[in-house]
Amino acid sequence: MTHQDTIALIADDHELFRAGLSALLKRDCGFASVIEAASLDAAMQILGETPAITFASFDLAMPGVGSALSLRSVREVFPHVRVAVVSGSGDRDDIFLALQAGLHGYVPKTLGIPDITRAFQKILRGEIFVPPLVAELPAQAEPPACTEFARMPEPGVKLTPRQSDVLRLIRCGKSNKEIARSLNLTESTVKVHAVALYRALGVHNRYGAARVERD
């Protein structure tokens, strides 16, 4: 398998790990070029400027990534890119959130080099990779279904009606683009409401907002 005319992206804040994955993608997956990024913002900028990228891996612990759901917008904005999480977390919920976000695979960093290589190759063939450990982990309760009305945060937290709408849709796993479409707003306006919402709840991202709402 070769991808000589395409480029891969590795987004991870660990420089040594990026170097290792870069070598693997060039040697075993046929990429002639691999671009590295240390944050989600940098990765999104690179994706926007480099249409030849066809594969991107993201670490969940990297700056800007609250959870795998944060990567849903990557799939929406760059549908031609095969997107995988490469993470030190083996938590079942993280894996399921990655699948819910529409990502093409979840590759634990605890896998050996041959297994990571095979996982990447499977994803590049158009398949979905889920680690075998999913079947070995104890079952967790199913995430709550999206409901029309979400329970509000603790009394004393004042949200505007629009912020409440945005919170409800974040809880449903909606991206900013989907929220904008649902509420007949521009995506920029949704981002403004979201930032104000995070400030009101005392969190830093949409994952934090969703957790506060559920607790």
Residue-by-residue pLDDT tens, the chain, 215 positions: 555 578 999 999 999 999 999 999 999 999 999 999 998 878 887 888 888 999 999 999 888 777 787 787 788 778 899 999 999 988 888 888 888 888 999 999 999 999 999 999 999 999 999 887 665 545 444 444 454 444 444 455 667 777 788 888 988 888 888 988 888 877 766 776 787 778 778 787 887 888 774 44
Please indicate, yes or no, whether residues 176 and 110 belong to a single structural domain of this protein.
no
Task: Centre a 10 Å sphere on the Cβ of residue 171 and count the other Cβ atoms it contains.
Answer: 20
* CA atoms 68, 38, 1, 48: torsion sign: positive
DSSP letter string over 128-186? Answer: -B--THHHHSPP-PPPPPP-SSPPP-STT----HHHHHHHHHHHTT--HHHHHHHHT--
Q: Which residue has the tokens 């992206």?
A: 9
Residue that terminates a domain, selected from 136, 171, 197? 136
Q: Look at the chain and report how many structural domains it folds into.
A: 2
Are 119 and 166 found together in one domain? Answer: no
Q: What is the domain extent for residue 197?
A: 161-214
If asked whether residues 122 and 174 sit together in one domain, one would say: no
